[in-house]
Amino acid sequence: MKIKTKAYAKINLILDITAKRTDGFHELFTVMQSVSAHDVITVEKKKGQGIYITCNEPDIPTDERNIVHKCAKAFFKENKISRYGVHIDINKQIPHAAGLAGGSADGAATLVSLNELYKTGLSLDELCNIGEKIGADIPFCIKGGTLLCQGKGEILSKMKPLRKCFIVLAKPDVTVNTGLAYKQFDENGKVRTPDNFGMLCAVQNRDLALIASKLDNVFEQFIEVPQRVDIKSAMYAHNALGACMSGSGPTVFGIFENKSDAEKCKAELDTFVKDVLVCTPVSTGCKIFSKTE
């Protein structure tokens, strides 16, 4: 059997760091939203023993360093499956190292796909427990939708879904190392705290304009991203309700009520930004869409 799964990207409607933990991680307060931009993970059994990974993006490692490999290995260990041969193909569409959880989404989709392929019957919570050990964003990427994420990101609370809208993602041709970004926070702290309570109220009231006005990301206070000002200016010029950086960057997203405004914004951004996508909110983190024998 061959399983194909969409691995959806995420954005952070708000992202605050509230403390550094004794284990070296950081306490987060973030509302994450799954969006329709996605990679496709194809999983099938193969003869022989081991985990074989292929990817359409040559810069992505296909050995033990890949989060997909780590998730697959953890899945087999958790289910006490000692003999396995599996081929996992990653078709990347989500920009790499972009603050959109592309790698975590791929890992999440791998766990969901393997659970189906091997008929292990694990619940989403059980899959999250496996994924949490590999990456803090994986539990969100398994469940997805609109969730408040706390702790390292693994404590998930369901929120009301984002209203229909259009989201423009714009990733400049730079990368931001997440570990170094957190190190900068440890060295610099933050100037101000995002309006976390205001965002919770806005999301629960499904007030799109108010949500857009509350968009905030503590990383923007100390992470410098070339073109961020120009990207936001272009978004607001095309009637974006709000714009913000996602994760530790460098991707900037804008929320639009109208598809035509979003597409016009994309056309302008395409003239000076490497990766630009128009997407919509989705209600799940990953979705199996094909099963073939």
Q: Which residues are catalytic?
A: 10, 137
Q: Report cis status (omega within 30 of 0) of the bond before 61.
A: no
Segments of 103-178 assigned E as strands: 146-151, 155-158, 166-171
Residue 158 phi, psi dihedral angles, 5° rounding: -70, 140
The Cα–Cα gap between 198 and 202 comes to 6
3-state secondary structure 19-41: EECCCCCEEEEEEEEEEEEEEEE
Starting from the edge strand earliest in sequence, which strands make up the sheet with 166-171, in order? 242-245, 252-256, 166-171, 275-279
Segments of the chain assigned E as strands: 2-20, 26-45, 50-55, 85-91, 146-151, 155-158, 166-171, 216-217, 242-245, 252-256, 275-279, 286-292
